Amino acid sequence: MILVVAGWYDTPARRYAVERRAHGVRLVTPADLSRRQWSLDLPPGRSIVALDDGPPEQPSAVLVRLDYIRDSDLPHLAQPDRGYAAAEMTAFLTAWLYALTVPVVNPPSTVCLSGPGWAWEQWEHAAATMGIPVQPASASNNGDPPATPAIGQLVTVAGDRIVGASDPYTALLARRLARAAGLQLISLTFTTDGIPPRLVAATPWPNLTDPDIAEAVDDLLRVERS
């Protein structure tokens, strides 16, 4: 069983899981945490879950595509209870993922369920320390990443694989940034209108509807392909 932990609104994640259901891939949304099917024992760490009315088992791998659980992720709960439930579910899921002894892509940090949860300024700082040029954010963006250019190079790092890099140098930059962030899976956008390329955007949740990216994620999670 391979779990994809994502929001109900994450259409690419849902499609990815549906297309690989025959190979044991299952989508898990925050609403699923409301069910009596999760177990965490510490110590020793052991995380199990029962899905589809099957027996409890530990997944063989997990892909995480959530930063934290929001009130809006829990529409099935009474409105006054959603904030508290969301905070408790985030804490439980963080501990549950930490306790796993199988591959978790991307593993949680103390502030995010999927990786370091960096703001754009932190990506800028990490890039600058490695000598990677960054497209500056304008003051009008309130510190958000600059608008992605119409013509840009989307590079995805998936473990040892690189998808979308047009040259070895850009691939090297992407690897370095992924390593600095402690992420096994990440998509980075670089400009293509100058040398060297400048970093424009970064996300730990690549587009899983892209066949090449989906195949790289399959390899990372060890999903069998027909």
Supply the CATH number for residue 133's domain.
3.30.470.20
Which region among 41-55, 101-115, 148-162 has the lowest average model confidence (pLDDT)?
A: 41-55
**Contacts of 210 by beta carbon, 8 Å cutoff, 6+ apart:** 156, 163
Whether residues 61 and 32 fall in one domain: yes
For residue 37, what pLDDT is reported? 74
- Whether the pLDDT of residue 193 is over 90: the answer is no
- Which residue has tokens 């510490």? 42
In a domain? residue 114: no
- Whether the pLDDT of residue 44 is over 70: the answer is no
Q: Which domain holds residue 197?
A: 120-203
Q: Residues 110-118: what's their mean pLDDT?
A: 95
In a domain? residue 134: yes
Whether residues 61 and 126 fall in one domain: no
Please check whether residue 154 is in contact with residue 189, taking contact to mean a CB–CB distance below 8 angstroms. yes
Query: Can you name the residues that pair with 47 across neighbouring β-strands?
Result: 40
Q: How many domains does the chain have?
A: 2
For residue 136, what pLDDT is reported? 67
Whether residues 152 and 184 fall in one domain: yes
Express as a percent the part of the chain with pLDDT over 90.
59
Whether residues 145 and 91 fall in one domain: no
In a domain? residue 131: yes
Arithmetic mean of pLDDT over the chain: 86
Q: Residues 115-139: what's their mean pLDDT?
A: 84
Query: Can you name the residues that pair with 162 across neighbouring β-strands?
Result: 157
Token pair in block for residue 54:
């099957």
Closest CA to 84 of 97, 69, 96: 69
Q: Which residue has the higher pLDDT, 130 or 20?
A: 20
Whether residues 29 and 86 fall in one domain: yes
Give the tens place of pLDDT for each residue, 56-86.
788 899 999 999 999 999 988 899 999 999 9
In a domain? residue 110: no
- Whether the pLDDT of residue 196 is over 90: the answer is no
Whether residues 77 and 100 fall in one domain: yes
Whether residues 13 and 97 fall in one domain: yes
Element (H, E) at 49: strand 46-49
Supply the CATH number for residue 41's domain.
3.40.50
In a domain? residue 219: no
Give the tens place of pLDDT for each residue, 131-175.
888 876 544 344 455 455 545 789 999 999 999 998 898 899 999
Whether residues 128 and 152 fall in one domain: yes
Among the candidates 105, 135, 167, a domain finishes at 105
For residue 32, what pLDDT is reported? 86
Please check whether residue 60 is in contact with residue 47, taking contact to mean a CB–CB distance below 8 angstroms. no
Whether residues 91 and 144 fall in one domain: no
In a domain? residue 71: yes
Whether residues 128 and 198 fall in one domain: yes
In a domain? residue 76: yes
For residue 198, what pLDDT is reported? 87
- For the stretch 140-152, what's the b/e string if a residue is b when 16 or more beta carbons lie within 10 angstroms of its beta carbon? eeeeebbeebeeb
